[in-house]
Structure 1
């Protein structure tokens, strides 16, 4: 079991993200709950993960699926109670599984008591907890647009001012310039630490230092100052793991975020690779094929750039991204092979791997009628593009490819009605392929995607080179092969991935001929690499103690 008293214990862990609304319902409400997660802890223990990243379960009006928090110290009744939360923490600890909470510190719900007070009077002490500007009812302070469409400013007649919101109007931005607000946030985090949580994921954390008068939404001048104070006042008072969502992070900023001295965060989620399959300078909906050579170069740059001076988070899926096997793999004839290959590619790298629920089963994207999508971003995008004259077929193809509800369909546990997720009506329709793709069938199949993930997780814990090794990209210009080498103190890994449905000639060099095959997604045979074939080779070069 991990020694979580070591400051950097999180370097060796594997994290599993749960989107509670879609994981397991125990009440028949059609919405997942905390007791459902407790019920499935043994499944997660069998997988071998160390931490659960729990998407928000705080009290919320659910305008943005819980990322609009109305009480940071309360559990939303749809998920259960604070007692359920404490039991989840305790039951997780019994299995060596910690809980990482998902904190939204850039904005709150407009139903939070702070905002209700703030919008009542300019003289209210909570007024300065938010970002306000003077103006006239039909003349916002500037033309800034919110991320989900429309103006970033909303008028409040009661105070004769506009408040700023980077997302929907029901998510007013918090004013981090106010030290009283920051103190409230720190006290809340310390309270959660007392409850026994072992980490925090920080939603859009690079946006807390916004300066809307200067059109600055991310990477504001005071960002790292705020993060260092946040860490000093909270995270450094315990051995916590912290990861910040930072869409605007580049390599240099990531070195600051994840500096080994722990002055800010453990690591960040950066999205350079995940934005490659969209048209440059346009929205995620504007699709282009994945530029494979650029993708390899991007991973290599981050692997090499943070080695020894920062830390990578490793992910391909999350609650905001489409299913990776549908996006970069082949969710048809080679679904199993390509799901395993994508896992091999990622888990062979240096960093902390994140598995999103269902990724370990090779769950796929879904195609629903527009009225069945629940995500506010999808619905706003659909209406906007219709208004702009885009063909409906093109709009729907973008939603099928990139819509966030692809990741939010209920977890596919078995082939019973609603995939064993609920006995009620699910809040979002289940992917119809659940009868073929589900946990029950994969647990019984030793060659399943699930058991392949188990092996990858076990290898990371068995061979230190997975955690510590450096990274060298090979075959950099090859149009189908992603090949890289890892090395540390006499241990070496060679990871070979054949992207695509074509057999590809490739041979081991002489120095690797006697290497051990740690893992492969096909039975061994001589000859070309088969479609979507992936292998991990291991050798000790006899130079133990040398890097």
Structure 2
């Protein structure tokens, strides 16, 4: 049963969602308090970012105990209550699965680093230095070398992320058994699936050879989509995934559509879908830390390529925001036309073929953080990149890049109302609230018929009503336009036309079809002219 195809997923970043106990940190009871809000929005699946026990060096993506909840968020009993109440409301739950690495405070690693004779030493990737240098030239995704010296064993250990996130050794069958036990534990509690963190990094090429070419980009086949990736995922599927009614979505680094199909093609089903990030290069060179001006063609081209390449063979994940990306309005829309462009962006991305992923706050048009000094940021990637960038750029230039690219842009507390701290917490929030919460918040959005939130509700209701949104094919028009995004979907005699203006000016275009024969079922303006208004989005429904 591929129920994930009809899912509308809402990602919760729990630390910033809703604080129930007033300590300034979002928690599980805070999520329980807002379940009716989620049901009212129309979502039927929640993806929960990590809530496991962790020192929080990377905000929970560094796990020290896979079988328990971090005390900041609550208890395992709180979790069970939340899961039960989600299921009562027809909402499924997918958890974050982080098994490329653990925390350096995980008991396995604490034992592993003591001695080469420790039974846990082979749980991780330790190597001797070479000629007084590190074992190889691999780079961390967070900047600097991917190797850290361990004095007790006179070796280096591998960390593709923070030095406090040592990589697990998937060559070791004991590690794979440990992971299967973790999966079974949560699935037996009733969890409905997993978002698999950086899942295509598990396999490292034998001998750990140097990467060639540009840092990280030269790692394909070495530690990105390594030689045993399929073996590992097939083993997880055979021993665990196939035994449950669940789904998996894999976050995959530098993946292309051809490689993705080798994981997700129906019949292979090592994963059910992947997150790729090719469209995220629409305003940057390979990484958000190397900015360039946004061009619509750079957004449309990879998204259409994935639509065509996956076709009926695989399933797409549809997103513009998550906990690692800046806010989409700042990147691809317009702060001046915030209301219109937020609605247009949702219409454009979520009407394609695949499963929509809404990130908390996206549905009310939240924007990037307002921070002006590096001290206001908490994100480890941001702080590491700041140090790296300062070696090459001035403070002013570096801060401009941080303000544009930091993951904290999407992690500012959820803006619920105009009360103190945006209604997120009675205490001092762990991360500063965006001061625009007086204008951008859920409470005001609910009352405003023309709000972004109410547009999302209308959109989701339409998606549930018309199967063409879910199962229709995809055909793009005007692929080379940097102003107009236009595509159609066809299914069982129904045709959907999705037409979006990505500019702040009125836009004339040839609609190709006679629109008088179609019903306008969604419009982010009251006006319906022959030309498109700034950031206007329209959806027409008719017969194929």
Verify same fold: TM over 0.5.
Answer: yes
Q: Does 1:246 align with 2:249?
A: no
Q: How high is the TM-score relative to the length of structure 2?
A: 0.95
The alpha carbon displacement at 1:217 in A equals 2.1
Q: Which moved more, 1:409-418 or 1:227-236?
A: 227-236
| Mapped contact 2:501–2:532 kept (Cα < 8 A) | yes
**Cα deviations by residue, 1:89-138 (Å, 9 ceiling, x for unpaired):** 00000100111100101000011111111112211111111011122795
| Mapped contact 1:232–1:263 kept (Cα < 8 A) | no
Counterpart pick for 2:209 among 199, 210, 213: 213
1:384 aligned residue: 388
The alpha carbon displacement at 1:160 in A equals 2.0
Q: Does 1:224 align with 2:230?
A: yes
Q: Does 1:399 align with 2:402?
A: yes
| Unaligned 5+ runs, structure 2 | 212-221
Counterpart pick for 2:66 among 52, 67, 72: 72
| Mapped contact 1:277–1:288 kept (Cα < 8 A) | yes
The alpha carbon displacement at 1:528 in A equals 1.8
Distance (Å, rounded) in 2 between the aligned partners of 1:294 and 1:319: 22
Q: Does 1:426 align with 2:429?
A: yes
SS at match of 1:276: helix
1:54 aligned residue: 48
Counterpart pick for 1:272 among 269, 278, 282: 278
2:453 aligned residue: 450
Q: Which moved more, 1:445-454 or 1:284-293?
A: 284-293
1:124 aligned residue: 118
**Cα deviations by residue, 1:62-82 (Å, 9 ceiling, x for unpaired):** 000000000000000010000
Q: CA RMSD in A?
A: 1.3
The alpha carbon displacement at 1:294 in A equals 3.0
1:338 aligned residue: 341
Counterpart pick for 1:102 among 82, 86, 96: 96
Q: Does 1:408 align with 2:408?
A: no
The alpha carbon displacement at 1:38 in A equals 0.3
The alpha carbon displacement at 1:26 in A equals 1.1
1:36 aligned residue: 30
The alpha carbon displacement at 1:510 in A equals 4.7
Distance (Å, rounded) in 2 between the aligned partners of 1:159 and 1:508: 68
1:9 aligned residue: 3
Distance (Å, rounded) in 2 between the aligned partners of 1:166 and 1:508: 48
Distance (Å, rounded) in 2 between the aligned partners of 1:345 and 1:13: 18
Distance (Å, rounded) in 2 between the aligned partners of 1:262 and 1:198: 20
Q: What is the correspondence of 1:192-341 to structure 2 with a 5 Å cutoff?
A: 192-211=186-205, 212-215=208-211, 216-261=222-267, 263-279=269-285, 283-331=287-335, 333-341=336-344
The number of residue pairs the alignment matches comes to 531
Counterpart pick for 1:468 among 449, 454, 471: 471
Distance (Å, rounded) in 1 between the aligned partners of 2:513 and 2:281: 38
Moved over 6 A (4+): none
| Unaligned 5+ runs, structure 1 | 1-6, 542-547
The alpha carbon displacement at 1:385 in A equals 1.5
**Cα deviations by residue, 1:169-200 (Å, 9 ceiling, x for unpaired):** 11000000011110110011011100010010
Distance (Å, rounded) in 2 between the aligned partners of 1:81 and 1:430: 26
The alpha carbon displacement at 1:144 in A equals 2.1
Q: Which moved more, 1:308-317 or 1:461-470?
A: 461-470
SS at match of 2:93: strand
1:544 aligned residue: none
The alpha carbon displacement at 1:439 in A equals 0.2
Distance (Å, rounded) in 1 between the aligned partners of 2:365 and 2:2: 31
The alpha carbon displacement at 1:229 in A equals 1.0
| Mapped contact 1:518–1:537 kept (Cα < 8 A) | yes
